[in-house]
């Protein structure tokens, strides 16, 4: 059983800032051409594989979930913060948003064609990340795809996770090698890893990992 005090803290912190967060980051990939391209490529992989719907895990106010839906995939959002889920439901009444945690998803084995976790694994304590990746692998159907966005450490050979003073709740920068290793240990096959330099007024590099659940065990 995962110790839940850190999730409780994260949930309460996002509940408290949900309205402001939604004003600032309704669709957090909108402002970055490379991120938009990556999410579009992910949606194309998901459509081509035709293995099921996509869950946007840690969906926040739901803008990226809506983007996925606009790209022609069946998408729904899951978030630990009830306030975020309420905002997402109000803004996108035609889409499904569920309260839940990536640490123990209320989703059947092999039910999904895709999992997107965009800056949501950053709040998971490093010792619990393998549980989250095992959940990703469990809920993906064979041929399903995973796309992750996160703050990356500058040096992949440095510590695997470095805590930093995230404005909402304690968060961790993660090494790309470590994230790829977690995906691999969960049984997922890497397709691509990318790094983006910090944008204007940003502090950290950004890591992205695209992976796939093999069709043969
Ligand atoms: C930085 S926000 C990102 C939101 C959205 N993905 C975006 O790109 O704007 C992180 C979100 O992850 C959610 N979150 C953090 N840990 C979670 C967990 N274990 N399960 C579900 N949601 C979680 C938070 O409530 C918050 O809404």
CATH code of the domain containing 13:
3.40.50.150
How much distance in Å is there from the Cα of 118 to the middle of ligand 1?
A: 8
**DSSP bridge pairs for 162:** 173
Pocket test for ligand 1, best of 2, 24, 79 (most atoms within 8 A of CB): 79
* pTM score: 0.96
Ligand 1 site residues (CB inside 6 A) read 7, 10, 14, 25, 28, 58-60, 64, 79-81, 84, 101-103, 118-120, 123-124
pLDDT of residue 7: 94
Q: Would residue 181 count as lying in a domain?
A: yes
pLDDT at 169: 86
- Rounded CA-CA distance 99/78 in Å is 6
- pLDDT at position 158: 67
The pLDDT, as a whole number, for residue 1 is: 45
Q: Is residue 217 part of a domain?
A: no
How many structural domains comprise the chain? 1
Residues of the chain with pLDDT under 70: 1-3, 158-159, 217
Exposure string of 31-45, with b = 16+ CB inside 10 Å and e = fewer, is eeeebeebbebbbeb
Residue 48 lies in a domain: yes
Q: Which of 83, 120, 131 to mutate to test the pocket of ligand 1 (most atoms within 8 A of CB)?
A: 120
- Residue 173: strand pairing partners: 162
Whether residue 170 lies inside any domain: the answer is yes
For residue 68, is it within any domain? Answer: yes
Residues 166-182, buried b or exposed e (16+ Cβ, 10 A)? beebebbbbbbbbbbeb
| C-alpha 155 chain-centroid distance | 22
Domain that holds residue 129: 5-212
Residue 101 included in any domain: yes
């Amino acid at each position: 059983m995962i110790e839940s005090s850190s999730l409780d803290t994260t949930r309460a912190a996002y509940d408290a800032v949900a309205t402001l967060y939604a004003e600032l980051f309704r669709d957090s990939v909108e402002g970055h051409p490379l991120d938009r391209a990556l999410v579009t490529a992910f949606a194309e992989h998901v459509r081509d594989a035709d293995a099921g719907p996509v869950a946007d895990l840690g969906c926040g106010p739901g803008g990226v979930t809506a983007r996925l839906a606009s790209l022609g995939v069946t998408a729904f959002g899951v978030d630990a913060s009830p306030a975020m889920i309420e905002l997402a439901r109000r803004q996108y009444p035609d889409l499904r948003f569920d309260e839940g945690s990536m640490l123990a998803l209320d989703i059947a084995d092999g039910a999904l064609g895709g999992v997107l976790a965009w800056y949501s694994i950053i709040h998971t304590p490093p010792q619990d990340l393998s549980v989250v990746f095992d959940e990703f692998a469990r809920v993906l159907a064979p041929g399903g795809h995973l796309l992750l966005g996160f703050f990356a450490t500058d040096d992949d050979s440095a510590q695997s996770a470095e805590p930093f003073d995230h404005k909402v709740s304690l968060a961790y920068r993660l090494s790309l090698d470590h994230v790829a290793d977690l995906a691999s240990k969960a049984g997922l096959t890497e397709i691509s890893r990318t790094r983006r330099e910090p944008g204007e007024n940003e502090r950290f590099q950004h890591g992205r990992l695209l992976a796939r659940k093999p069709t043969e065990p």
